[in-house]
Amino acid sequence: MTEKFIETANLSGVGVKIIRNIDFLKDFALNTSLGYDSNKDVGFIKALSGATESASAVVNISNREKLKSILTSKTLYISIEKTTLRSSLSEAYFLAKQRCQDEYMLFISGESKTADIEKTLVSGVQGPEKIIFLITEMS
């Protein structure tokens, strides 16, 4: 399933890294123990699950600070445990709901992009300019 996730993400222009843990995020002065954090330029959030068909992460946004860390970061790292990858969006959603009963969930599949009539493409208008999925082999 990991290979399919990477293939789909690459088609969308989203980077994916397979890693053992997210400790390197501490180099950006991020507190990884919270499950989310951000500074001016870099943020991260742990996903509840991921869908391979669309290379999407399912994250809960239980509080305003968590949502802020997603929307205000220029580069957003999204950590997804390899064992939580599912083939479809619905399977990923139902797994996320089993893991967290939060009412507010987001599917994130890439950075926001928009283009004007002159075909000028701009990234990061309503969120991060760059998203990198981190598939973790161990939590």
**DSSP structural state of residue 133:** E
Residue 139 has pLDDT above 60, yes or no: no
As a whole number of angstroms, the distance between CA 90 and CA 111 comes to: 21
The answer to whether the beta carbons of residues 105 and 55 sit under 8 Å apart is no
Percent of the residues in the chain that have a pLDDT greater than 70, as a whole number? 88
Query: pLDDT (tens digit, 9 = 90+) per residue, 57-84?
Result: 999 988 888 888 888 899 999 999 999 9
**For the chain, what is the domain count?**
1
Q: Which is more confident, 111 or 18? A: 18
Full residue range of the structural domain in which residue 80 is found: 2-136
Q: Read off the CATH number of the domain in which 112 is found.
A: 3.40.50.10420
Place of tokens 């790292």: 77
pTM of the predicted protein model: 0.88
The H-assigned helical ranges of the chain are 2-11, 64-71, 89-99
Q: Report angle CA 119, 122, 127 to the nearest 5 degrees.
A: 145
